Amino acid sequence: MNNQKPKKSLVRRHDNFGFVFLIPWMIGFTVFFLYPFLRSVLLSVQKVEFLPGGGFSTTFVGIENYITALTRDEKFLPLAAGSVLDLFINVPVCLVFSFFVAVLLRQKFFGNALVKAVFFLPVILGTGVFLSVQTETAAVSGMSLDSAMEEGVASLETLQSMNILNLLQDIGIPASITEYIAGPVEQIYSVISLSGVQIFIFLAGLNSIPPSVYEAAYIEGASGWVAFWKITFPMVSPIIIVNVVYSLIDNFTMSTNETMGYIFDAAFSNFDYGLSNAMAWLYCLVLAIFVGLSVALISKKVVYQS
Amino acid sequence: MMLSQQQRHIVYTAQRKSKEWGWAFVRTIFILGFSFVILYPLFNMLTRAFMEPQDLYDSSVLWLPRHFTLINFEIAGNALHYGQSFLNSLWTSTLATLLQLFSCVTAGYAFARYKFAFRNILFVLVLVTLIVPPQLTMIASYMYFSDMSLLNTQWPMMLMAATGMGIRSGLFIYMFRQFFTSMPKETEEAAMVDGAGHFRIFLQVMLPGALTILVTVALFSFVWQWNDVFFVNLYDRSFQNLSNSINFAGFADYFMTYSEYAGFSQYDPVIQKNFSSTAAIMVVAPLVLLFVVMQRYFVESVERSGVVG
């Protein structure tokens, strides 16, 4: 024991040097995250008034802002409900799609590097500027984002999916379900542009599976199908959580999300800071519930490597 | 009918081969289809950008412009104030990228190589900064920077980038941590035995080995900074950079001031859309160029950055 004591403190001194490297982040966290975070809690229960000479005065109003957001504001609840509904369509579709594409891209074929580069383009183009121009111009001319594409592609796709739609409806499947199936087909362009980062996260996960595992399985006589469900799928299951969380947040906060736009306008067009903050908190609470639920549900099935 | 062993082998290989070829065929169809959906709208935007207004309405004009023109680029360039906006975008994105690299690489390194007190709690807080949407704290941050009278400058962006609170900094810290965790302990120990200090080990042993991940994060950071609409709108609304100029009110109608478009002077969505998409091409063109140059590096290192939960 006596021998170990000085050694331990030396190690500890070494380890605590890590704080020196962490100084910039710790400053940033307290000043630019923790402080605004706490202040936004406070603001959501306050009424902010602008003083004529500039600056603000705040008065405590309790949960009035929350009541206004939930009962008196007629636009917030429908918009938020719409965003949540979109989530149920977008997130599963993005996950399945990006996983499928990642499996495709991992295989060796001619022009693999080029195809990866092509699939990476939406990551560059799918954010901010490009997307906002596309939606803006589409909205201006009264078209949806996807019909903003060349008419040829659009009409071809709607034609096909309309046929499938009719077929399914003919055999008596309710319209809500057929639309759920047909939606992603019609919006394949936005599905692809929403899945850019997820594809590469899955690809990284797939590449981290040691090839020796597959070799062993094939020697034992496993087919490709079995190998996929018994090796590939369990091994990337931790990545699925990462991707679910990423997709949820991305869908909830992207610049084209209407609820986020409404919250932004409440603050910077109507100058109701308290109300805007209360709405942001309600909205993020819903997001937090979704993130928590999906992580809890999926992590039961997740297989962790050693 | 009994088959000899050789015949059975032939049948077996033929079956396997046909299965492989079948899958290769299906895969090719999927990949070509998806690539088409990604590339075709871009290609279409690009060729239409070189068309004169009458070509846009001429249904016999497919892909190749009949009346080739650069007028769309000229108008969009003028509306964007391209020279000035480009330079502004360039210096802010570059500076923010460098600052963000500095703050994230040091934080990621600390989390990976030192077992200091509260390490796990602090790392969870890094993930919290990643998960909490910036929209939640935007008003509080806005009022805060307003109190410090730093609004309408680039200071808020730069300060946040320098302290690990920039755009998606949490993700970058996570990526750096994953990378540095995978580095062997022996190199560090050898350098320590040779008498190298903490900073020397970091700068001369660890950083040179981390070049790939540094480039990857730098490119991500640069791209997101360049495309950012949200923060620049929040803190510096009148700043003249590319992402701000394209969202400027009245931008979409700028083409009407040109005599070439006099015949289309009334509100015209087709022309307006073509004009806006030409401008969008001009905004992202530098990024696409950058990406083409770094393409192999970028894609490979993203794959290997080891985002493993």
Length of chain A: 306
Longest dimension (CA), chain A: 83
Q: Are B243 and B229 in contact (CB under 8 A)?
A: yes
Q: What is the pLDDT of residue A154?
A: 39
Lowest mean pLDDT among A237-251, B237-251, B272-286: B237-251
Nearest residue in B to A299, CA atom: B309
Q: Does residue A123 share a domain with residue A207? A: yes
Domains and CATH numbers, chain B: 83-248 (1.10.3720.10)
B51 DSSP β-pair partners: B68
Q: Do A32 and B165 touch (CB under 8 A)?
A: yes
Q: Which long-range contacts link A56-61 to residues 24+ away (Cβ below 8 Å)?
A: A56/A273, A56/B143, A61/A274
Q: Do B165 and A148 touch (CB under 8 A)?
A: no
φ/ψ of A127, rounded to 5, equals -105, 155
Q: Do B137 and A37 touch (CB under 8 A)?
A: yes
Distance (Å) of CA B15 to CA A181, A224, B12, B157: 34, 14, 5, 61
**A242, pLDDT greater than 50:** yes
Q: Which of B167, B156, B181 is nearest to B104 (CA)?
A: B167
**B308, pLDDT greater than 50:** no
Tokens 């001369």, residue located: B204
List all residues of chain A from 174 to 213 with a beta carbon under 8 Å from chain B: 188-189, 192, 200-201, 203-205, 207-208
Residue A54 domain flag:
no
Instruction: Write the residue in B38, B141, B243 that is nearest to A119 by C-beta.
Output: B38
Q: Do A153 and B303 touch (CB under 8 A)?
A: no
| Distance separating alpha carbons of residues A240 and B309, to the nearest angstrom | 9
Q: Does residue A120 share a domain with residue A8? A: no
Instruction: Give the structural domain span for A6.
Output: 1-40
φ/ψ of B265, rounded to 5, equals -65, -25
Q: Does residue A200 share a domain with residue A163? A: no
| Total of domains in chain A | 3
Q: Does residue A157 share a domain with residue A22? A: no
Which residues in chain B have their CB less than 8 angstroms from residue A295's CB? Answer: none
Q: Do A192 and B37 touch (CB under 8 A)?
A: yes
Q: Does residue A284 share a domain with residue A251? A: yes
Q: Are B182 and B57 in contact (CB under 8 A)?
A: no
| A300 token code pair | 């039961």
| Band (B160; pLDDT cuts 50, 70, 90) | very high
Please, is A258 exposed, middle or buried when counting C-beta atoms within 10 Å of its C-beta (0-12, 13-18, 19+)?
middle
| Band (A169; pLDDT cuts 50, 70, 90) | low
Residue A50 domain flag:
no
**Complex ipTM > 0.90:** no
Q: Does residue A77 share a domain with residue A11? A: no
Q: Does residue A255 share a domain with residue A142? A: yes
| Residue pLDDT, tens place only, A248-261 | 888 887 767 788 88
| Distance separating alpha carbons of residues B30 and B37, to the nearest angstrom | 11
A46 DSSP β-pair partners: A60
| Residue pLDDT, tens place only, B112-158 | 989 888 899 999 899 888 878 888 888 888 888 888 888 888 999 99
Q: Does residue A177 share a domain with residue A96? A: no
Q: What is the pLDDT of residue B87?
A: 94
Shortest distance between the Cα of A294 and any Cα of chain B, in A, equals 14
The conformation of residue B52, written as its DSSP 8-state character, comes to -
Q: Does residue A85 share a domain with residue A19? A: no
Residue A304 domain flag:
no
| Distance separating alpha carbons of residues B160 and B157, to the nearest angstrom | 5
This prediction's pTM: 0.80
Residue A135 domain flag:
yes
Q: What is the pLDDT of residue A139?
A: 40
| B69 token code pair | 């023109």
Q: Does residue A225 share a domain with residue A139? A: yes
Q: Do B135 and A260 touch (CB under 8 A)?
A: yes
| B45 token code pair | 């935007």
Residue A254 domain flag:
yes
Which residues in chain B have their CB less than 8 angstroms from residue A253's CB? Answer: 133-135
